[in-house]
Amino acid sequence: MAFILDYNLAKTKIREIISKDYNDKLKELVNFLYENFEHYSWIGIYVIKDKHLVLGPWIGPHATEHTKIPVGKGICGSAAATGKTELVDDVKSDSRYLSCFISTKSEIVVPIIKDGKVLGEIDIDSDKKEAFSKDDKMFLERIADMLAEHI
């Protein structure tokens, strides 16, 4: 059995293992939501890094060009700045909206908060207008709480 005597090398390796696990978990979560909720047309998890939302695991028919959004910008950035869920029934009528997909009609953005600090968010686009109900909001806020414990 070989021992790793270099603590820095060990730290790098452990960091890799931890981040892999974590991204795999998030990927599994977005896949699960996508497969089980028809009105969730695109799902992504953003994580805050240096005052920006950085896109992590996502699922949907197309990639978004908005992979790095400054906090405060767009619907995503607003939710990150206030720590409050944004539920937009009609994206066309919201001037903050950053367009990703031509098919998107409504959007919900749920911040992931731990100890009063926004760590990231769940962003879901729907091809249906007014797709998200109060039940979606409560459900996704509960998931965000669960995620906060594992981020």
Residues that bind ligand SME (CB under 6 A): 44, 64, 66, 69, 74-77, 97-98, 100, 107, 123, 125
Which of 46/113 has CB closer to ligand SME?
46
86 vs 94: CA distance, rounded Å: 11
Residues present in the chain in total: 151
19 vs 118: CA distance, rounded Å: 19
Residue 75: name the closest of 124, 26, 118, 41 by CA: 124
Which of 29/75 has CB closer to ligand SME?
75
Residue 122 CB, nearest approach to ligand SME (Å): 11
32 vs 28: CA distance, rounded Å: 6
Residue 91 CB, nearest approach to ligand SME (Å): 7
Residue 73 CB, nearest approach to ligand SME (Å): 7
Residue 6 CB, nearest approach to ligand SME (Å): 41
Which of 69/112 has CB closer to ligand SME?
69
What share of residues in the chain are helix, strand, coil (percent, to 5)? 40, 25, 35
Which of 44/120 has CB closer to ligand SME?
44
